[in-house]
A and B are shown apart, each in its own frame.
Chain A
Amino acid sequence: MDISNYIYLSAILFTIGAIGVVVRRNAIVVFMCVELMLNAANLAFVTFSRINGNIDGQIASFFTMVVAACEVVVGLAIIVTMYRSRRSASVDDASLLKR
């Protein structure tokens, strides 16, 4: 098996995550799809680290995980605040700027 298969898997997962971000309406599911994209990028990092025989890819992946954790904390707090004021977690409802 080629090691490149890992990169293909990463690309497929990233694409699925991207579809989810634009298609789903529930803010939490959209957020989970962003997490999927970040995970796919991490897989690519780890695979590149192995291909190049260099630990830097794993370090980048580690930093991505930390940033993802921060992002989840702040994003979910925003979703909770949004839900409190609108009683809905749908991204379509947050369209106050449109009018």
Chain B
Amino acid sequence: MLNMSLHVGSTHTPEAVLFWAMAPLAVLAAVGMLLVKKAVHSALLLAWVMITLAIFYIAQDALFLGIVQVVVYTGAVMMLFLFILMLVGVDSSDSLVENIKGQRPAAILAALGFGGLLTSLIGRAVTHTDAVGLSLVNTNGNVQTIAQSLFTQYVWAFEVISALLITAALGAMVLAHSERKHASQRQLSVDRFRQASLGATAGLPASGVYARHNAVDVPALLPDGTPALTSISPTLEARGDIIASEPFTLAATEEEED
């Protein structure tokens, strides 16, 4: 008869303590990820689950993967997630409106059924004989063993996956790139001369120029001595932070012609 069962061994006590301390926390964090409202909290809980898994990898003689898990997942991937969260808006919490009626309970029921099936399947598949363990494989060191396998047996897959990485980077650039319609310098200057009045063609007057006070909240004086209100930032004007310009107005002088 065909024996399809898994041969599973048991571990030493420190690892059991580690497992029973960390695994419930990981499951709690994963459940919390589903329940919390804010996406940022979800991201932090997921980061915790990933760190827990990294510890489990190291406990299971997969030192290299444990380090990679911390560097790639909790470092790069979660960083990217948080970056996008900040870009898209931290407050983008879930809507509670159900578009499909009864979708949520049905989905949870189906997923729980799936989980039960998976668990019972594992329960039926495992037999309690000793695991082989990786101590023999890892005699030259875990990293060396992985490198040897990666660059001999799996070298083709390794090359293909590097092509995949480059394609993904290019795809992200294409997707995230957006054409902005910036008017060129030439277009801006043409527009300036074609506007209704040529008064501001050379730019708006600067505040405080020719005035008695050289300050941003004092309007410039025009050649005839009247204040030029366009020289003051509209923001200051809206706030009412302008000093009344009347006192600074020059007295009109009589010009005499020879």
Contacts and interface: CB of A to CB of B under 8 A. Distances in A.
Contact of A76 (B84, B94, B164): B84
Given A19-B107, A32-B46, A88-B92, A65 B165 contact: no
A42 B53 contact: yes
B216 interface: no
Contacts, number: 245
Interface in A12-45: 12-20, 22-26, 28-29, 31-33, 35-36, 39, 42-43
A14 B9 CA distance: 23
23 contacts: A3-B131, A5-B19, A11-B118, A19-B112, A22-B103, A28-B92, A35-B46, A36-B30, A36-B49, A49-B62, A50-B60, A53-B136, A65-B72, A66-B164, A67-B164, A68-B73, A68-B77, A69-B76, A73-B80, A73-B172, A76-B84, A81-B176, A83-B87
A3 B9 CA distance: 6
B112 A32 contact: no
Given A11-B118, A92-B95, 4 more contacts: A5-B23, A16-B33, A39-B53, A50-B131
B118 to A, nearest CB: 4
B204 interface: no
Interface of A: 1-9, 11-20, 22-26, 28-29, 31-33, 35-36, 39, 42-43, 46-47, 49-56, 58-59, 61-63, 65-74, 76-81, 83-84, 88-90, 92, 95
A2 B150 contact: no
Contact of A43 (B56, B119, B131): B56
B88 to A, nearest CB: 5
A41 to B, nearest CB: 11
Contacts of B23: 5, 9
Interface in B1-26: 6-11, 15-16, 19-20, 23, 26
A79 B84 contact: yes
B39 interface: yes
Contacts of A15: 111-112, 114-115, 118
B111 A19 contact: yes
A28 B161 contact: no
B250 interface: no
A74 B56 contact: no
B199 to A, nearest CB: 39
Interface stretch (B63-71, B181-189, B217-225, B228-236): B63-71
A70 to B, nearest CB: 4
Contact of A16 (B6, B34, B84, B97): B34
Given A50-B131, A66-B164, A90-B95, A35 B122 contact: no
